[in-house]
Structure 1
Amino acid sequence: MLSPSGDTANLNASPWKTLRLLNVYRLALAVLFMAVIVISGPNVLGQHNAFLFIAINALYILFLLSSGVSGRYRWPALKLQVYAQALIDIVAITLLMHASGGIGSGLGVLMIAAVAAASVLAPGRAALVVAALASLSLLGAEVHADLFGGYRATSYTQTGLLGASLFATAWLTVALSRRAHTSEALAVRRGIDLANLAELNGLIVNRMQSGIIVVDDTAEIRLMNSAARALLNCADENPRGLKELSYPLYRLFLEWLPGRETNAPPQKLEHDRATTLQARFARVGARREDRGVVINVDDTAEINRQIQETKLASLSRLTASIAHEIRNPLGAISHAAQLLGESPGMDRADRRMVDMIREQSKRMNAVIHDVLRLYRKDQPNAEVIVLQTWLEAFNAQFSRDHGLAPKWAAISITPPDTAIKMDANHICIRCSGICTKTPSNTVATNTSARRWRSPAAVRPAAPPRTWT
């Protein structure tokens, strides 16, 4: 992204450009003066001292040429060049005015332009110093002419008015220049902000999973992200029109365009692909010339998947809430069974019933624990399980819980030392579900699994917590 320092060079280059333009103005004026005095003679310019006028003008032209070279290479510093040129302007204009007959020649007006030029490039106080030096120079020229009788007549009033004009020019130019510089800096910052916002907008749009297409009223594409290219199978790098991109989408756009309904329902988009697409249109832009249309293209299969995930998440929260509510009374039942089992006057049958209550309470508590763990997305406690040993222990426990004969199910694992790595509680829940839903004498399971590790390295897992 752009930063304020990125356009600082452009902002700093503006004073140098202004200085070059002022040098061009000065050089053109000096060449014009030289041409006038050479062609018409010392009738208008240089009438008091033509040689002095030509000599000063020639030296002034040479100085301006050297200043142009210095400005081109930006050496020495800008401030030094501004002060030097302002001082040379004051001296040159004063001498040219003196050679042409003093303040009455009208060349003193050029001092206003010189002071204004210095005020544009110099700080406020420096501009007032330049105006003061120019006023003193004009006044000194008039005093010299009055003392030594250089002119026929001198005018201190006109000189004083011109000096006041120089101070007013300096003050006004500094104020306007400062405001212009502030506006320029603000415009640069706003331009940087707009460029950054445009870049950020493009980055966000390109990372969206939905297809985004921005078109104008003539269906010319102004912006399109990569998701829209993928959904519409766009092979062209820069499609100009919506019609070239997708004719079915262009037809839907023409149907939507007359009414321009912002809250219109999504419309099914018939496209030559396996998935089904839908398009939604929304207008943007307040002014007529800035109006545009944003088209959202989505894959309905992806939307349905997200809806399904939301439903599953809601169902998971509901299941976890129910499990949490069951845990409290289940704990009370288990505690009551424990207290009842500690009674000394219980016979064997009652104690057997108490043991069944406690075992089933532990089993239900383990199921609730697994449900809550799945909701919290805890990592399963995987362990190595030898299937033959584990299934025999499970069969014995299941037979006792349901009053079945110990050999109601035949267990055969080939090879007998087959081992798996899995959470014992999860496999217990699945096996319990299979055995509970299956009628007796109809279980026939063929189990094959790859060997996890050698039998010598496998230690039989303890019976699952759900039925111990």
Structure 2
Amino acid sequence: MAGEYFTSSKSDQDQASWRALTLFSGYRLFLAATLFVAFYLELAPEFIGNKYPLLHHFVSLSYLMVAVLLMIFSSRHWGVFVTQCSIQLIIDIIALALIIHAAGGLQSGLGALLVVVVVAGGALIPGRLAVFIAAIATLSVLLEAVYAELIGLGQSHFAQAGMLGAIFFITAVLAQLLSRTMQRSQLLAEQQAQDLNKLANLNQHIISRMQVAVLVLDEQGRVSLCNQSASQFMGIENLPTQFLLKQYVPELAEQIWCWKQHLPDPFKPFQARADLPELLARATELDSGEVLVFIENTTAMAQQAQQLKLASLGRLTASIAHEIRNPLSAISHASELLAESLNGDASVSKLTEIIQRHSVRMDNIIETILEMSRRKNIDPTVVVLSPWLEKLVDEYCEIKHIFRRQIVLTSAAPLARICTDEEQLHQVIWNLIDNAWHYADKAQELPIEIRITLQSEDIHIDVIDNGAGVSPQAMQHLFEPFHSERTGGTGLGLYLARELCQANGARLSYLPEFGSCFRISYPLQRQEFIQ
């Protein structure tokens, strides 16, 4: 890890050095263009190139062309950085020394241009090379002073050259110290920025992969963050970055509003759609005023609760069923004896028939409740759905004496598997098929269709009939016990089916938008399957 960090830091430092050299190359190009254009257009200051115009013209034009080439080299990071930078700075010193000479020497004041080159050398080149660049610059001004003394200009420039030389060395050292400090600060800032970026990406990845759904709402109720689990649980995939929660999940939006108003028990289990799992939300307010919402899939909790409920119901019904059945048998037997003794009396026969019919209905209710009470802990096994359902449909058609072609089984995943209690699944599917057959229009083709599909995070088993569907009045009590529109029905079939589904970690829902369709959904992450 230390080696990786060192390599990363060194690479970042090289990139920063090349960026600085490219910036200095831009300054060189601007300076060369200015020196050439000012002389060519005879702009101020007038002393530029006035001593040796031809020399200035040749040097400034050459310097401009070289500056263009060096700009390309720097921007494309050609060559070794230290070598490239040293050559460029030496070219700068030579070109500027000739331009200073063409302007009349050090008295022109152009020697200050060399200070920028020395500062660049101290900032870009490490160690002794920066001092070497300062030495070359000092040598160039000393040679100019010696030349002025030799041709007898009448005024010594050695003091000015010495002062410039001292400035060169001092600025080179200071620039190097400052450069090192700035590079360390820059590298530290870049490393911290990378660490923060990695941390942000890690947090985003963790949030997006959490099994618990997470939503962040602003003060207007818009969703500013929605992780993958939230999209799946609430069926709000492929939506814009920000959207109003009340437009897509109005029940959750209403619960959050109640929570903001400090109403008692604002959060209750809900379903975003009938075919989606039951959810339970919790919320907390952030310092920014946003609301952080955690949404849990209550399937596992519902499964445990259903097992406890069935166990409690079993203990209760087992203790009272015997006490109810004994007097019920006596009543039924007495009515039979009464009907036999008064066989010729039509009014008595009618009354005894009513007693017998309702006695049978009560016995069916007790038998259904006893079936629920006999349920022990679930015994999950792996069930390959397609062949298992084929066998069940064949069995149902044989017992009910109906044609096999009247129940169609289609599968989008022929090798899909689920882990469930096989006996309880048999009871649920049998109940749904029997219910569908009762309400189906047998005169039409394909009265009943059973489908196996994979969708999003669930394996679906749909039992669809071509009947009129559930009436709006019955929809309000569809899965409640003792509510039935079926003549002679106990009203416990769908209730028991949903209870058994929840005990096995599945969901039973009615989907009127797909016709008269009852859907069993098994969470995919808890199953074994092959597409």
TM-score normalised by the chain length of structure 1: 0.57
Q: Tell me if 1:104 matches 2:107.
A: yes
Q: Tell me the distance in 2 between the aligned counterparts of 1:121 and 1:301.
A: 64
Distance in 1, Cα, partners of 2:184 & 2:53: 46
Contact 2:259 2:266 in 1 (8 A): no
Deviations 1:323-376 (A, max 9, x none): xxxxxxxxxxxxxxxxxxxxxxxxxxxxxxxxxxxxxxxxxxxxxxxxxxxxxx
Q: Which amino acid aligns with 1:251?
A: E
1:26 partner amino acid: R
Q: What is the aligned partner in structure 2 of residue 273 from structure 1?
A: 274
Contact 2:18 2:74 in 1 (8 A): yes
Question: Is 2:238 the counterpart of 1:236?
Answer: yes
Amino acid at match of 2:102: A
User: Per the alignment, in what secondary structure is the counterpart of residue 67 of structure 1?
Assistant: helix
What pairs up with 1:142-161 in 2 under 5 angstroms? 142-149=145-152, 151-161=153-163
How far has the Cα of 1:60 moved from its partner? 1.7
Query: Residue 181 and residue 256 in structure 1: after superposition, are their counterparts in 2 closer, same or farther (change >3 A)?
Result: farther
| Cα distance, 1:281 vs structure 2 | 0.7
Unaligned 5+ segments in structure 1 are 311-468
Q: Aligned pair in 2 of structure 1 residues 60, 15: CA closer, same or farther (>3 Å)?
A: same
CA distance 1:146–1:190, change in 2 (3 Å):
same
- Give the conservation status (yes or no) of the 8 Å contact 1:265–1:280: no
Query: Residue 67 of structure 1 aligns with which residue?
Result: 70
C-alpha change, 1:103 and 1:211, in structure 2 (3 Å) is same
Q: CA deviation at 1:73?
A: 3.9
**CA distance in structure 2 between the partners assigned to 1:236 and 1:47 by the alignment:** 72
Which residue number corresponds to residue 301 of structure 2? Answer: 303
The 3-state SS of whatever aligns with 2:268 is: strand
SS at match of 1:213: strand
Give SS of 1:107's match: coil
Aligned to 1:122: 125
Once the 2 structures are TM-superposed, how far is the Cα of residue 10 of structure 1 from its aligned partner? 6.4
CA radius of gyration, larger in: 1
* Structure 1 residue matching 2:47: 3-state secondary structure: coil
> Which is further off, 101-110 or 51-60?
51-60
Asked whether 1:175 is paired with 2:177, we answer yes
8 A Cα contact 1:239 1:245, kept in partner: no
Partner amino acid for 1:61? L
Q: Is the 8 A contact 1:209 1:227 kept in 2?
A: yes
* 1:77 is the counterpart of 2:80: yes
Within 5 Å, give how 1:24-423 maps onto structure 2: 24-40=26-42, 43-149=46-152, 151-238=153-240, 240-241=242-243, 242-257=245-260, 267-271=267-271, 272-273=273-274, 276-284=278-286, 286=287, 288=288, 291-305=289-303
Task: Please say if residues 258 and 266 of structure 2, whose CA atoms lie closer than 8 Å, have aligned partners that are also in contact.
Answer: no
Contact kept in structure 2, 1:249 and 1:269, CA below 8 Å: no
Q: What's the CA shift for 1:171?
A: 2.2
CA distance in 2, matches of 1:55, 1:93: 13
Q: CA deviation at 1:273?
A: 3.3
Secondary structure class of the residue paired with 1:40: coil
Task: Name the SS for the 2:285 alignment partner.
Answer: strand
SS in 2 for 1:282: strand
Question: How far did 1:138 drift?
Answer: 1.1
The one-letter code of the counterpart of 1:91 is I
**What is the letter of the counterpart of residue 215 of structure 1?**
L
Matches of 2:166 and 2:260 in 1, distance apart?
66
Residue 183 of structure 1: CA displacement? Answer: 2.3
Q: Give the equivalent residue in structure 1 for 2:435.
A: none
Q: What is the Cα deviation at residue 27 of structure 1?
A: 2.2
Q: Would the alpha carbon gap of residues 83 and 44 (structure 1) be closer, same or farther in structure 2, given more than 3 Å must change?
A: same
Could you tell me whether the CA contact under 8 Å between 1:128 and 1:167 is conserved in 2?
A: yes
* Pairwise CA distance, 1:71: 2.7
Task: Output the CA distance in 2 between the equivalents of 1:258 and 1:95.
Answer: 81
Q: 1:306 to 1:166 in 2, by over 3 A?
A: farther
Secondary structure of 1:218's aligned partner:
coil
| Partner Cα separation in structure 2 for residue 38 and residue 108 of structure 1 | 21
1:250 counterpart SS class: helix
The residue aligned with 2:437 is none
Distance 1:97 1:234, change over 3 A: same
In structure 2, what is the Cα distance between the partners aligned to 1:71 and 1:295? 52
Q: Return the alpha-carbon distance in structure 2 between the equivalents of residues 199 and 153 of structure 1.
A: 69
CA distance in 1, matches of 2:21, 2:261: 56
Aligned amino acid, residue 273 of structure 1:
A
Q: Which amino acid aligns with 2:15?
A: A
Shift of 1:9: 6.3
- Please state how far the C-alpha of 1:82 moved relative to its aligned partner: 0.6
Shift of 1:108: 0.2
- Measure the CA separation in 2 of the matches of 1:220 and 1:12: 45
- SS of the equivalent of 1:116 reads helix
**2:15 aligns to what?**
13
The answer as to whether partners of 1:86 and 1:118 remain within 8 angstroms in 2 is: yes
The verdict on how the C-alpha distance between 1:256 and 1:10 changes in structure 2, with shifts beyond 3 A counting, is farther
The 3-state SS of whatever aligns with 1:217 is coil
> CA RMSD, aligned part only?
3.2
1:297 CA drift (Å): 0.8
User: Secondary structure in 2 aligned to 1:214?
Assistant: strand
How many residues align? The count is: 300
Q: Residues 23 and 227 from structure 1, CA distance in 2 versus in 1: closer, same or farther, beyond 3 angstroms? A: closer
Note if contact 1:208-1:227 (Cα within 8 Å) is conserved in structure 2: yes
- What is the CA deviation profile of residues 438-458 of structure 1, one whole-angstrom value per residue up to 9, with x for unaligned ones? xxxxxxxxxxxxxxxxxxxxx
Q: Which residue matches 2:424?
A: none
More strand by share: 2
Q: Which amino acid aligns with 1:76?
A: G
Q: CA distance change for structure 1 residues 174 and 22 in 2, over 3 Å: closer, same or farther?
A: same
2 CA distance for matches of 1:308 and 1:116? 79
Change (3 A) 1:174 1:301: same
**Structure 1 CA distance for aligned equivalents of residues 99 and 176 of structure 2:** 27
